Amino acid sequence: MSVVTIENVDIVFGDNKAKTLPLMDKGHTRDQILGMTGDVVGVQNANIEVNEGEICVLMGLSGSGKSTLLRAVNGLNKIARGRCLVRDGDKMVDMAKCDDATLRHMRTRRVSMVFQSFALMPWLTVLENVAFGLEMQGMPKAERLKKAREQLKMVSLDKWANKKPDELSGGMRQRVGLARAFAMDTDVLLMDEPFSALDPLIRSQLQDELIELQRRLNKTIIFVSHDLDEALKIGTKIAIMESARIIQEDAPEQIVLNPATEYVEKFVAHTNPLNVLRGSSLMTPLNELAVKDDHIVINDDIRMKLENGKLISVQGPRGDIPTARWTPETIFANVPDNTVFIVPANIAMRDAVELRYHSNHFMVLEEAGKSVGILNDHNFYHALLGKHFGREEAAA
Ligand SMILES: Nc1ncnc2c1ncn2[C@@H]1O[C@H](COP(=O)(O)OP(=O)(O)OP(=O)(O)O)[C@@H](O)[C@H]1O
């Protein structure tokens, strides 16, 4: 179910929209338009649908239009054309066209925002800061303080409730910002580079906390970042922006496997594939392996036999090699070496590499009860060297 729908949205800063919009339609660039009308094109023809429980990351370089688009979702930026719809129960409200009372209702009940700068009030305690938005919702004092305490507990800051924000570290203040946003209990959370001012370790911890909170609370989140690793880690969907336009919108793995343009490819070249790719996109499919005497040839020494599409045995130079099934619950330390593992085709690359490290063998991927491919060292090196996307291979 769609919770936020952005439809053909243009956002223009300046007073010459009547001239600027037709120039945009004629395909003039942002720089040309700035020269011709003095207007800045903030967002051009953006389309995104964010479903319930999704984390959609808007990613791109500085100035690409991420914050401008995000701010349109709670009506902070005026839309020149198009619609920005946010769910309110069983109807969708157009944030650009609704009246003031509806906008107020949407901002206190449906959409809340977390900023990079924390935006905490220094004269209020941590607890009062978290409770502040609830006061605006009209919640009685005892109830809102109780709720704020619960939220602080969720981000492990309950012991800091009576401190002032300046007594906390940057990471802790950002957690207060998160608690405050989650306390509002709105369906939609807008997050504008909330972790970018933090050092990498704290940042990574907060990303984990956000993922965990999201899992528990099933919020719909739009998150701005200029860091693709962050986007890949937390996003269920990533929209990449360049020069006011969304140039690719895809699932994280697809962004890494099939970058749409050189701009995206440049981001992808610096990412760690271990965190993103899955076995099915790395594997050598069974139909690409040689077959000899009814056996699939893995290499000069090893062959395997299938029956009804399922692995039944693996033969090595000194007889049968044991096989076993791996599941996400398997403890790597207990994995016997010299075992060929059968794994789900969607195994994360990180798990597959770790399994390879412990078992010393290739692994067989299974989907819907059938063997579909194998993962061996060649597949891992291929991905680690960034050769998993078509363009580079075509150029090589
Ligand atoms: N209030 C404003 N008035 C005029 N121009 C603006 C305004 N807000 C943003 N812009 C312009 O819109 C363009 C997009 O800015 P935006 O802040 O959305 O980029 P961003 O991708 O979020 O960048 P960053 O990562 O640096 O925050 C920029 O050229 C910026 O100068």
Exposed/middle/buried for 352, CB within 10 Å: 0-12, 13-18, 19+? buried
> For tokens 């999704």, what's the residue?
54
279 lines ligand 1 (CB under 6 A): no
Rounded Cα gap, residues 361 and 335, in angstroms: 11
C-alpha 239 – ligand 1 centre gap (Å): 17
> For the residues 142-158, what does the mean pLDDT come to?
89
Domain housing 331: 279-384
CA distance 131 to 180: 7
Average pLDDT (137-163) is 89
pLDDT score of 171 = 81
Q: Report yes or no on 306 lying in a domain.
A: yes
- Same domain for 51 and 76, yes or no, is yes
User: How far apart are the two ends of the chain, measured CA to CA in Å?
Assistant: 43
- The verdict on residue 392 lying in a domain is no
The whole-number pLDDT of residue 390 equals: 52
Structural domain total, the chain: 2
CA of 164 relative to ligand 1 center, distance in Å: 32
Question: Has residue 390 been placed in a domain?
Answer: no
Task: Calculate mean pLDDT across residues 257-271.
Answer: 88
The residue type at 224? V
CA distance 341 to 328: 12
- Structural tokens at position 339: 């075992």
Please give the pLDDT value at position 389. Answer: 55
Q: Is residue 115 part of a domain?
A: yes
Nearest-CA neighbor of 182 among 207, 204, 214, 206?
214
Q: Is residue 395 over pLDDT 80?
A: no
Query: Which residue from 40, 222, 246 has its CB within 8 A of the most atoms of ligand 1, so it is best to mutate?
Result: 40
Query: Which range scores top for mean pLDDT: 106-115, 185-194, 259-268, 361-370?
Result: 361-370
Contact 257, 226 (CB under 8 A): no
**Shared domain check, 115 and 218:** yes
Boundary of a domain, candidates 271, 304, 333:
271
In whole angstroms, what is the distance from residue 197 CA to residue 220 CA? 23
Asked if the model's pLDDT at residue 391 lies above 70, the reply is: no
**Residue 114: both structure tokens together:** 């977390």
Q: What is the pLDDT of residues 169-205, one digit of tens each?
A: 888 888 898 888 888 888 899 999 888 877 788 788 8
Model confidence pLDDT, tens digit, residues 304-356: 999 999 999 999 998 999 999 999 898 888 888 889 999 999 999 999 999 99
Closest CA relative to residue 46, chosen from 63, 66, 26? 66
pLDDT at 393 over 50: no
The reply to whether ligand 1 has any atom less than 6 angstroms from the CB of 44 is no
Q: Are residues 66 and 49 in the same domain?
A: yes
Domain end point (choices 271, 300, 324): 271
CA of 29 to the centre of ligand 1 (A): 16
For CA atoms 126, 130, 135, 136, the dihedral sign is positive
Does 247 fall in a domain? yes
CA 305 to centroid of ligand 1, rounded, Å? 59
Residues 376 and 235 in one domain: no
Structure token digits, residue 181: 């946003």
* Alpha-carbon span 272 to 264, nearest angstrom: 14
Query: pTM for the full model?
Result: 0.83
Helix ranges (DSSP H) in the chain: 17-25, 30-37, 66-73, 100-105, 126-136, 141-154, 170-183, 200-217, 228-234, 252-257, 262-268, 279-282, 349-359, 377-384, 390-395
User: Is residue 114 domain-resident?
Assistant: yes
214 touches 221 (CB < 8 A): yes
Q: How many angstroms separate the CA atoms of 179 and 379, rounded?
A: 42
98 shares a domain with 8: yes
Pairing label, strands 55-60, 237-242 = parallel
Higher pLDDT, 115 or 283: 283
User: Same domain for 308 and 215?
Assistant: no
Indicate if 142 and 8 belong to the same structural domain.
yes
- Atom 25 (ligand 1): residue with closest C-alpha? 62
The pLDDT score that the predictor gives to residue 184 is 83
**Cβ 267 vs Cβ 60: under 8 Å:** no
Tell whether 236 and 310 lie within a shared domain.
Answer: no
Asked if residue 121 is part of any domain, the answer here is yes
Q: What is the dihedral of CA 49, 56, 327, 332, to 10 degrees?
A: 170
Instruction: Write down the ipTM of this complex.
Output: 0.96
- Asked whether the CA dihedral 93, 94, 100, 103 is positive or negative, the reply is positive
Q: Which two tokens stand for residue 348?
A: 């994360």
List the CATH number of the domain containing 314: 3.10.580.10
Q: Mean pLDDT throughout 254-264?
A: 90
Judgement on whether residues 233 and 253 belong to the same structural domain of the protein: yes
In this prediction, residue 396 has a pLDDT band, given cuts at 50, 70 and 90, of very low
Alpha carbon separation from 366 to 96, 181, 322 (Å, rounded): 49, 42, 17
Q: Give the model's pLDDT for residue 392.
A: 44
When pLDDT is averaged across residues 110-125 and rounded to a whole number, the result is 84
Q: Token pair for residue 208?
A: 């984990």
Asked if 371 and 348 touch (Cβ cutoff 8 Å), the reply is no
- Residues 377 and 188: their CA atoms lie apart, in Å, by 43
Residues 6+ apart with CB under 8 A from 54: 3, 220, 221, 236, 237
Q: Which atom of ligand 1 is nearest to 30's Cα?
A: 29
Which CATH number fits the domain that encloses residue 229?
3.40.50.300
Residue 225 predicted with pLDDT over 60: yes
Task: Identify the pLDDT of residue 276.
Answer: 86
With a cut of 60, say whether residue 18 has pLDDT above it. yes
Question: Is the model's pLDDT at 245 over the cut of 80?
Answer: yes
